[in-house]
Amino acid sequence: SLIPFIEHNDVNQALMSSNMQCQAVLLSQSKKCIVGTGLESQAALDSESSAIAEHKERSFIPMLKRSFYQ
């Protein structure tokens, strides 16, 4: 459900897109996507690899020492 306009893609392209999502790498500085499905924020929360700031004024997040390659 994170592939926009999947109903308009052919089967091979949709399969390739879903396989490419499995190979995605976390970004240290992410940007807002141009085309979205509306489920990106929920996917980020479910991955438990995102840090969410409680206060907008104090949004500095120190480097996490957790290894993502386990």
Tell whether the model's pLDDT for residue 64 goes beyond 60: no
Tell whether the model's pLDDT for residue 24 goes beyond 60: yes
Under 8 Å CB-to-CB from 16, ≥6 apart: which residues?
A: none
Average pLDDT over residues 42-53: 70
Share of the chain above pLDDT 70, in %: 43
pLDDT at 20: 76
Sign of CA dihedral 38, 1, 36, 53: positive
pLDDT at 70: 44
9 or 68, higher pLDDT: 9
Tell whether the model's pLDDT for residue 34 goes beyond 70: yes
